[in-house]
Chain A
Amino acid sequence: MYVAVKGGEAAILATHDLVAEARRGDEAVPEISVAQIREQQGLACARVMNEGSLYDADLAALALKQSQGDVIEAAFLMRAYRTTLPRFGSSEPVDTASMAIRRRVSATYKDLPGGQVLGATYDYTHRLFDFALMDNGSVMVGLDPTISGHEGASATGDARVEPEHDGSAQPATCPLDAHMPRVPDILGAEGLMEPEVAPEGDPRPFDLTREPVSFPADRDVRLQAMARGDEGFLLGLGYSVQRGFGGNHPFVGEIRVGEVSVEFVPEELGFAVDLGEITLTECQMVNQFAGSKDVAPQFTRGYGLSFGHSERKAMSMSLVDRALKCREFGEAAQYPAQQDEFVLYHSDNVEAAGFVEHLKLPHYVDFQGELELIRRIRAEREQRLANENLTLPEAAE
C-alpha cells in the first residue's frame, strides 16, 4: 500500500528534461535513428516485440530508442501503446509448416527432408570481438585509445579480427523447399511421438489479456503467458529443468526461423485476407516419457513460438512448456518449472517490474506507521525490562 503524495511537479518536469538529455548522450556523437535500430538491432527489437506482446518492428525500435535500450522499459512502452489500439480480431492460426525458412536445424536428425539450414546464426562464431565494427576499425590490444588518449595506429592489423569473408552472402542456385515437415511429425509418423491434435471443436484460445487466469491453467494459457514472458526468467527456468529440477531429458527436435503469412477473416468480408508476413521462431523440444499403464513409452514434446528471430526465447519456452505438462503425464510437480501458478504469475516482466519498482515510490505514510509501531514496541520492552529490574530484588528477598 502506498498513499498518494502531492507536489514535486517542478522537479518531475526537470527529470523529464534530464532524461531526454541522458538519452541523447554526447551531442558530438550522431543521433541514432529508429530505422537504424530496426535494421541493426533486430534481435533486441524481437525481444521487445515478444515481451511487449506486439509485433511491430518500427515501434519496437522506437521503444528501444526512447528507453535508452532498456528492454523491459521498452516492452512496457509497447504494452502501454497496445492498450490504446482497438483489436480487429484474431488471425487464423499461423501455419509454421509452410514457413519461408531462413534457418532450420535439428539436433535429433542429421538428414532431414528439406535439409538443415544454418541461416544467420551466432552459433558458429568465435565470440571474439570484431573490432572492424568499431568506428575507427582498429584498436590496440591492451591499450584502449579512448582511455589513453593515444591513437591505435601502431597496432593496426595486429589486433584486428579479420572477417573470414568479404561479408556479402552468395545465394545458392536453388531455393529451399516451400514446405518442410516439422521434425516431431516425422517421429509421429512412427507412433513414437506424443500426438499434438486440436481438442474437439478446435476451440478459440483463452486470452489472458481479456480474462482473469485461474489455476490449473490449460496449455493455451500457459503458452500465451510464456510467449509474452521474460526471456531471462524462462531461460533460468529452462536451465533449471536441464540441471535436474524438472526431470526432462531434452533434445532440440527442430528450430526454425522464417516468415509466415498472417491470415485474418474480417466479419464484414467473410473470407480470409492475407495481411502480410511476420517473422517467427519455432522450437520443438523432444523429451522422453516412460509411459504409463495406458500409454506406451514415447517421446513427448515441448513447444516454443516467438516473434522475430529469438531462438533462446523459443527454446526456453519449449523446455518450460514440457515441464508444465507434468500434470498431463501424471508426473509429480515438485520443481518450480513444473508449477503453472509459479511460472505464470512470475514470468511477465512488465508486471514484475511494476511491483518490484513501485517500492521506490513514496511509502511515507506506511513507513511512518511502521516507525511508530516499532518505537512503541521498543518503549514497551524498555518499560517491561525496567519493571522487571524493579521487581526482581524484592523477589529475591
Chain B
Amino acid sequence: MTAEHTPRQRWMAILARASRAEIVELVGPHMPDHEVLKAPETGTVMVEGRAGGAGRRFNLGEATMTRCVVRLHDGAMGFSYALGRDARKARLAAILDARLQVEAPDGALHRDIDALSDRQNAARDLASRKAAATKVDFFTLVRGA
C-alpha cells in the first residue's frame, strides 16, 4: 500500500494480510454484539494485468476472495475483503473494521494494528533481504552465504 491511501484503507490492507490467529487475537476474548448484514461469502475476483506491465488491460485469471459486512449495535458498519476462503477471518475482520472506525485514532486497537503492521513490514523486509543476498554482478560473482 502506498502513502496516499486513507487510514481506513491502510488498516483494511493490514487486516487482509493478517492470519486468522492474528485477527482472533486483535478481537480479543469479548466479541462485540453485531448483526451480520452480508454473511461471509467466498467468491472470486478477476485479477487484471496490463500488457507489457503498463499497456492494455487483460484478464490474468481469478483469485478466491471472501467478504463480509457487519453492523455493530452502535450502528458502525464494518466491511472486510481478503484473498482466500476464510469465513471466520472475514467476519472478525469486518468487526475490527467497524471498531476501528469508531475508536479514537490513538486508541488501543489502532496501536495493535500498528504493531501488526510492524510485524508484516519486518517479514517483508526479511524476505527482501534474503532476495538481496542473491543479488549478482556478473563480473564479480558474489554468493549469498
Contact = CB atoms under 8 A, between A and B. Distances in A.
Interface of A: 49-50, 53-56, 58-59, 82, 85-94, 96-98, 100-103, 110-111, 115-120, 165, 169-176, 182, 184-185, 196-199, 202-209, 219-221, 223-224, 227-228, 258, 261-262, 264, 266, 268-269, 271-278, 282, 284, 301, 303, 305-307, 321
Interface residues of B, number: 60
Contact of B44 (A85, A175, A197): A85
B135 interface: yes
Contacts of A173: 129
A57 B85 CA distance: 11
A197 B9 contact: no
A56 B16 CA distance: 15
B7 interface: no
Given A56-B64, A275-B82, A278-B63, A87 B46 contact: yes
Given A91-B45, A93-B57, A202-B57, 20 more contacts: A54-B62, A55-B47, A56-B84, A58-B85, A85-B43, A90-B45, A94-B50, A117-B134, A118-B136, A172-B129, A185-B53, A197-B55, A205-B48, A220-B57, A223-B51, A227-B49, A227-B61, A262-B83, A273-B81, A284-B52
Contact of A115 (B42, B50, B65, B135): B135
B63 A56 contact: yes
A116 B138 contact: yes
Contacts of B67: 88, 266
A219 B55 CA distance: 10
Contacts of B56: 196, 198-199, 203, 205, 219-220
A305 B48 contact: no
A91 B43 CA distance: 13
A386 to B, nearest CB: 64
B57 A198 contact: yes
A82 B44 contact: yes
A175 B138 CA distance: 20
A2 to B, nearest CB: 31
Contacts of B46: 87, 89-91, 207
Contacts of A264: 45, 65, 81
A262 B135 contact: no
Contacts of A56: 63-64, 84-85
A103 B136 CA distance: 11
Contact of A169 (B16, B125, B130): B130
Interface in B70-116: 79, 81-85
A165 to B, nearest CB: 6
A198 B82 contact: no
B59 A170 contact: no
6 contacts: A59-B64, A86-B43, A87-B43, A88-B67, A303-B53, A321-B51
